[in-house]
């Protein structure tokens, strides 16, 4: 059995739901934080595809439903459970602002605004398990270029 592996990738987010108020409860009654993640380029995508292959897991890449993609133009879902038997694996993912490749300060949705489509990030996920039981979970998100979500009326 392979041990869990941390993977860090640059890319873009779409439909990010990282605050308790935005949490997805439609498909996961206890709640889930999630987003569409678009790897910045083929090299970034290869990082997670290589790990998926080692674990005999197919990484499903999807086309953007609205035709507007970022980076490689295809995305995969990233998520983190609101409730997990291990406390460190549950709750909203830590999100920090980044400048010149360094963490500057925590992101605060009420002060900084929600994360909008096209925000550039450094994503850290942990890939665990093998075969049908393999998966990945958000560990941390670094906002490189924050696009503030603007609600459409």
Question: Is 90 exceeded by the pLDDT of residue 1?
Answer: no
Q: Determine the CATH number of domain 5-145.
A: 2.40.50.140
Q: How confident is the model at residue 150 (pLDDT cuts 50, 70, 90)?
A: confident
Alpha-carbon distance of 19 to 10, in angstroms, equals 21
In 3D, which of 32, 28, 1, 30 has the Cα closest to residue 15? 32
Q: How confident is the model at residue 105 (pLDDT cuts 50, 70, 90)?
A: very high
Q: How confident is the model at residue 2 (pLDDT cuts 50, 70, 90)?
A: confident
Do 59 and 52 meet the contact criterion of CB atoms below 8 Å apart? yes
pLDDT at 48: 96
- Across the range 48-68, mean pLDDT stands at 94
pTM (whole model) above 0.85: yes
Alpha-carbon distance of 23 to 33, in angstroms, equals 5
- Across the range 101-108, mean pLDDT stands at 95
Domains of the chain by residue range:
5-145
Across all residues in the chain, what is the average pLDDT?
95
């Amino acid at each position: 059995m392979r041990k869990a592996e941390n993977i860090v990738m640059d890319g873009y987010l779409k439909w990010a739901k990282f605050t308790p108020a935005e949490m997805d409860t439609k498909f996961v009654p206890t709640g889930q934080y999630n987003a569409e993640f678009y790897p910045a380029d083929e090299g970034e995508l290869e990082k997670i595809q290589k790990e998926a292959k080692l674990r005999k897991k197919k990484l499903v890449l999807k086309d953007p439903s609205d035709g507007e993609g970022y980076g490689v133009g295809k995305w995969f879902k990233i998520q983190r459970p609101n409730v997990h038997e291990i406390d460190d694996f549950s709750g909203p993912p830590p999100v920090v602002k980044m400048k010149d490749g360094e963490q500057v300060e925590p992101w605060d949705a009420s002060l900084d605004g929600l994360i909008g489509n096209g925000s550039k990030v450094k994503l850290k996920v942990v890939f665990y398990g093998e075969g049908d039981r393999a998966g990945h979970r958000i560990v941390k998100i670094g906002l490189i270029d924050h696009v503030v979500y603007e609600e459409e009326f």
